[in-house]
Amino acid sequence: MAREELDRLIQGRNLGELVTEFRAKTTGQHSPALQRLINRIRSEPMTGKLALLCTRPHEEWRLVQMNGRGKPMTLLDGVFHDLNDAEWAIFKLRMKRHFDIDLND
């Protein structure tokens, strides 16, 4: 089921190429298939959503999971010093969460 959804999203594009595209440029205009894919995995509700907490302005971000309106967030393992690295870590976790796909660096 998850695989079917992934196929529908990327419509024949090579997943490896899309992953490479995201790793190279996490923000801004993406190819249509990559944009569909990330729109899907970013549509997580606030409860359970992966996000970042800025712990030192412009220097350090901590991976967190949101637990819904008014509820304290959960601090997860993962401290980043570059927002692109943080985007990439969230992308990998979501590919696992939504499609059971393991991605390596």
16 binds other proteins (CB under 8 A): no
- What's the closest the beta carbon of residue 12 comes to other proteins, in angstroms? 20
- The count of residues in the chain is 105
- What's the closest the beta carbon of residue 18 comes to other proteins, in angstroms? 15
Report the interface residues with other proteins, using CB under 8 A: 26-30, 35, 39, 42-47, 49-54, 57-58, 61, 64, 66, 69-73, 83, 86-87, 90
